[in-house]
Structure 1
Amino acid sequence: MTDTTGAPDAAGAPLPLPLLIVDGANVVGSVPDGWWRDRRAAAVRLRDRLVPYARSGVTGLSGPVELVLVLEGAARGPASVPGVRVDEAPGSGDDRIVELAAAAGTRPCLVVTADRELRRRVSELGAEVTGPRTVLG
């Protein structure tokens, strides 16, 4: 299980970690490496590649962070690992990402996607947005 709390506030209560949400379908699809032949295996590769970012954070969001990889469709199935929580969208991955960004409340939230409509939707909720190269570079 991933620890979702950070340093304590002035009263000693732990503050929630910043939230980093990765649009699995969009990030996997941004690299033409044959991912379409086995979407689940591509999702596993991405999940494993994301692990270090849970501690370090990414440009625009210092670590440690709560890192959530949202998967949909044929990519569903990989389990969460320490540092990366896999969230399987019951329907649209974009809709699930919007729900997670909305639930972030006032804590910092960064969504990794290149999807223009999704970028617009989460930005309206106060989330920041960055492209797939942030986690693929």
Structure 2
Amino acid sequence: MDHSVAALLVIVDSANVVGSVPDGWWRDRRGAAERLRDRLASRGLPGRPGPVEIVLVVEGAARGVESVPGVRVEAAPGSGDDRMVDLVAEAGERPVLVVTADRGLRRRVTALGATVTGPRAVHP
């Protein structure tokens, strides 16, 4: 029997998290997503011990952002929300934390068993 603990899957709503800080992100959406990716790669998710896999979901102008060690980037072919819901569904029994303030997305992913936290989890 395998007693290993599955790494927590952390799915970050890039557009929502980037949009939560009025720092001029709208002038360079791709650059803002890259800065978020790099911050996640260097700091992880503060206060979350143990194995963590971070997936940053990008859409629109932020498509094309590359994955880096510690952060897998998923470019949503359409709606970022739909891609995040698919990722939660694909996780099966694995623990999932979604980082977003989007109420509609929050309802959709919690219905599938995910936990949700707001953008402050990555913007201390």
TM-score scaled by length of structure 1: 0.84
Higher strand share: 1
Q: Distance in 1 between matches of 2:74 and 2:83?
A: 9
Q: Write out aligned runs for 1:85-100 (5 A).
A: 85-100=72-87
Question: Percent sequence identity over matched residues?
Answer: 69
> Considering only aligned residues, what root-mean-square deviation do their CA atoms show, in Å?
1.5
1:21 has 2:11 as partner? yes
Q: Write out aligned runs for 1:49-64 (5 A).
A: 49-51=39-41, 52-53=43-44, 57-59=45-47, 61-64=48-51
Q: Which residue of 1 aligns with 2:34?
A: 44
Structure 1: runs of 5+ lacking an equivalent: 1-7
Which amino acid counterpart does residue 108 of structure 1 have in structure 2? P
Q: Distance in 2 between matches of 1:80 and 1:16?
A: 21
For residues 12-59 of structure 1, what are the alpha-carbon distances to aligned partners after superposition, in whole Å with 9 as ceiling and x for unaligned? xx6531100000000000001000001000000000011121xxx444
Instruction: Select 1:66's aligned residue among 53, 77, 82.
Output: 53
For residues 35-92 of structure 1, what are the alpha-carbon distances to aligned partners after superposition, in whole Å with 9 as ceiling and x for unaligned? 0001000000000011121xxx444x43321100000000111110000000000000
Aligned length: 123
Q: Distance in 2 between matches of 1:131 and 1:70?
A: 15
Structure 2: runs of 5+ lacking an equivalent: none
Which amino acid counterpart does residue 83 of structure 1 have in structure 2? G
> Which aligned segments of 4 or more residues in structure 1 are displaced greater than 3 angstroms?
none
CA contact (8 A) 2:8 2:52 kept: yes
Which amino acid counterpart does residue 115 of structure 1 have in structure 2? D
Q: Which residue of 2 aligns with 1:123?
A: 110
Q: Distance in 1 between matches of 2:5 and 2:121?
A: 25
For residues 75-131 of structure 1, what are the alpha-carbon distances to aligned partners after superposition, in whole Å with 9 as ceiling and x for unaligned? 111110000000000000000000001111111100000000000000000000000
